[in-house]
Amino acid sequence: MKKLTIFSLILLCVLICYFSVSKNDGFSVIKILSASDFYIDFNKNNVADVNELVQLFDLIPDDTKLSKTDTEKLNYLGQEFAIKTLLGKKVRLIKDDNQNVSVVLADGKNYKNLLIEKGFFLTPQNYNLVRKNLDSLDENKLVSYNPYSKKYHKFNCPHAFSSMNYKILSKDELPKDAKPCKFCHTDLIKISENKEQEKNYNYPKDVYEKYSPLYKDKYMEFYVTDFTKYYYPSSKCLTTACQSLLKEINSARKTIDFAIYGIDNQAEITNALKSAQKRGVKIRWIYDTDKKGNTIYSETFILKKVLSNAKSDIDYSSEIRLHNSNIKDAIMHNKFFIIDKQKVWTGSANISHTDLSGFNANSAVLINSSDIAEIYQREFEQFFSGKFHSLKNKTFPNETVLASSTVSVYFSPQDKVIEKQIIPIINNSKKYVYIPVFVITHKNLNTALINAKNRGVDVRIIVDATSAASRYSSVKLLRSSGIKVKTENSAGKMHMKSAIIDDKYVIVGSMNFTKSGEAYNDENILIIKNTQLAKAFKQKFLYFYTAIPDKWLYKNPQAESENSINSCHDGIDNDFDGDVDMKDSSCRYSVKKYPAKKI
C-alpha cells in the first residue's frame, strides 16, 4: 500500500510537470513577413489569421544614416535570420511594466537581443557589426520583385522601391514567370520621343472658389478643399478655407496667437498678419524647427523678422532644459489660429501654396466660442512658456456643447487621442468608417479598423500616393484584410487627417494617424459630434472616393508620374526625390497601364 501511494505521488508530479510545461512552452511561429513581423499560431489551427500578426519593432531607427539600398539589405538579412530562428519554433510573449512586448525563444533567449548581438538590428553600439553584415552580402544576387506586375529590378533601378508591394528576393527565388524591368535591364523608349505625351496640359489655374463652407451654423464653419478641381499650387487665397482665415485675420481687433508648422508662399495671409500688427493687434506665434534650428518652410524666418514675438519648439527655457536633458526631437505640427480669444481656426492645412490653394486636399474648421478658444489658449501658453511635446500638461476640461454640436478638443502627445478616444469610437461603430488621411501606420488603429470591417462595418480609406509607397504604410495590411483603400491619383496630396463615422462623428485636425502623431508630436485634434456635419462630410468623401478610379484600390500610382493627374507638369516635386516634372525619371518613361480589378 505504501509503495502504491509513493508511485501515485510520483505519477501525479510527473503529470503536473507535463501539463505545466505543455501549457507554458509557447506558441508556434507559422509565417514570417520580416524580422519583426510574423504570425504566431495562438489558436493552434495552423493558419495565419489576421489577429495573430505580431508586429514588434522597426529594425532600423527613423534617424538612421543608412542608404535605401543598405536599409533593404538589412531587412533582407533580418528576415533570413528570422526564418532560421523562428519559423516552426515555439516562442513566448512577455510584457514588461510598460506593456512592451518581448519574444522569448525556447532556450530562454530574448529574440530582439539576439538580433542585436548578431548584427541584424541597428543600434548606435553595433553599427560596425551591422556594416560588416551588409558588406558581406552581394547585392547583385538580390532583386526587388513586384508580385503584382511580376517585374524584378536591380537595386539601383529608380523603380526598385517605388511600389509598396515590392519584396527583396535572391535571384534563385524568383518565380518562373518573373520578368526583368526594361529600364534597368534594357533600354526603354523615352516619352520625350513622343511629343503627344510630353505636351503641357491646359488645366485651369488660379480659379477662385465661391465662398461655400461644407457646413455652417451659428458657431461653426467647416471646410474641405477639393483637390480634384485644382491642378496647380497657388500663392493666392483661392479656397473657402483660406478666405475664411484671411477674413478672421483682417477682422482681428486685439490679439492673434497662432501655432503653425511653418509658412510658405502665402502673401495674402502674411500681408494680413503684418497689417494686423500695424493697426495694433498683438501677435504671438509658434513654429517648428529641428534641433539644428532648420525649418522646411524658409519663409518662416522671413516672417519672424517682421512678427518678431515668435518661438520655435526648440526654444525651451534654461530651467526646462536643466531638468529635462533627454528632450525628444519631435515636431510642432499644429496649424491653429486663436483670434481675439474668441474664435479658433484649425485643421490639416499648412499655411502654404500647396495646402490653402486647394492643390492638396485638406479639412479645416472655424469655431466661434470663447470656451473652445480658452482650451486652445491654454495649449498656446504652454508653448510660449517653453513647454513642448512630452513636457505639456494634459488637456482638461475639453468638451463644449455648441447648439447641435458637441466639440471635444485634444492635443498630442499628452492626450493619447487615438488610443483613448478614436479607437473606442471605431470599436462602437455600426454602419461605416470613412477615413481621408495622408498616412496611416498606427498598429492598434489598424486592428480596430480590421475588426470593424469583419463585423460588417463599411470601412473605406483614401490615402496619399507618396505615403502609400512607404514601407511603414499600413495600406498593404489593410487591403489584405479586405478593407477598401484607394490611393489618390492627383498631382496634389490627400493631406487630410480626418474620419467620418456613422453619421455621428467627425474627426479633424493636424495629426496623422501614426504613432509619432499621437505619442511625440505637438498636434491638435477635434472630435465633433454633429449629425448634419457628418452627413455633409460623408458625401464629400464619397465624391472623392468615386472620382478615384477603382484600379487604385489595389495599386498605387507613383506620386510624380503620368498616372497621377498633371503631376509631371505642375512645377512641384510631388515625390520628394529632388526632381521636378519631366526631370523625374518616373515622368520620362512610358505610362504604366493597370487593368481594372474588382475588390
Range from 317-326, 353-362, 551-560 carrying the lowest mean pLDDT? 317-326
Q: 3-class SS at 45?
A: coil
557 versus 25: which is more confidently predicted? 557
Q: Provide the pLDDT for residue 198.
A: 39
Q: Provide the pLDDT for residue 323.
A: 63
Average of per-residue pLDDT across 326-343: 88
Grid coordinates given for 315: 526654444
DSSP per-residue codes, 527-541: EEE-HHHHHHHHHHH
Q: 3-class SS at 237?
A: coil
- Backbone dihedral region for residue 477 (phi beyond 0: left; psi -120 to 50: alpha; all else: beta): alpha
The three-state DSSP-derived secondary structure of 364-429 is EEEEECHHHHHHHHHHHHHHHCCCCHHHCCCCCCCEEEECCEEEEEEEECCCCHHHHHHHHHHHCC
Average of per-residue pLDDT across 525-535: 97
Given a cut of 70, whether residue 589 has pLDDT beyond it is no
Q: Provide the pLDDT for residue 404.
A: 94
160 versus 403: which is more confidently predicted? 403
pLDDT in tens, 256-265: 999 999 999 8
Grid coordinates given for 295: 525649418
Average of per-residue pLDDT across 554-578: 86
pLDDT in tens, 201-250: 678 889 899 999 999 999 999 999 999 999 999 999 999 999 999 999 99
Given a cut of 90, whether residue 502 has pLDDT beyond it is yes
Average of per-residue pLDDT across 38-62: 76
Q: Provide the pLDDT for residue 172.
A: 83
Average of per-residue pLDDT across 439-456: 95
> Rounded to an integer, what distance in angstroms lies between the CA atom of residue 258 and that of residue 272?
14
Average of per-residue pLDDT across 99-119: 86
274 versus 25: which is more confidently predicted? 274
Phi, psi of 432 (to 5 degrees): -155, 155
Q: Provide the pLDDT for residue 190.
A: 40
What mean pLDDT, rounded, does the chain reach? Answer: 85
Which of the residues are catalytic? 495, 497, 502
Average of per-residue pLDDT across 27-51: 86
pTM: 0.68
Which superfamily does CATH assign the domain made up of 215-553 to? Answer: Endonuclease Chain A (3.30.870.10)
Given a cut of 90, whether residue 482 has pLDDT beyond it is yes
Given a cut of 80, whether residue 135 has pLDDT beyond it is yes
Given a cut of 90, whether residue 20 has pLDDT beyond it is no
Q: Provide the pLDDT for residue 149.
A: 72
Return the percentage of the chain with pLDDT > 90, whole number: 49
Radius of gyration in angstroms for the set of CA atoms belonging to the chain, rounded to a whole number: 27
Burial (0-12, 13-18, 19+ Cβ within 10 Å), 314? middle
Range from 173-187, 234-248, 467-481, 546-560 carrying the lowest mean pLDDT? 173-187
CB-based contacts of 556: which residues, under 8 Å, 6+ apart? 163, 164, 165, 465, 468, 469, 475, 487
Q: 3-class SS at 318?
A: helix
Q: Provide the pLDDT for residue 422.
A: 97
Q: Provide the pLDDT for residue 395.
A: 86
pLDDT in tens, 139-189: 778 888 887 677 888 877 767 776 656 788 888 888 888 888 766 765 433
Average of per-residue pLDDT across 436-444: 94
> Rounded to an integer, what distance in angstroms lies between the CA atom of residue 383 and that of residue 378?
9
The CATH label, of 2.40.50, 1.10.3470, 3.30.70, 2.30.30, for the domain at 26-137 is 2.40.50
pLDDT tier, 309 (very low <50, low <70, confident <90, very high otherwise): very high
Question: How are beta strands 484-487 and 37-40 bridged, if at all?
Answer: unpaired
pLDDT tier, 390 (very low <50, low <70, confident <90, very high otherwise): confident
Range from 74-83, 321-330, 531-540 carrying the lowest mean pLDDT? 321-330
Q: Provide the pLDDT for residue 99.
A: 65
Q: Provide the pLDDT for residue 61.
A: 56
Average of per-residue pLDDT across 66-83: 84
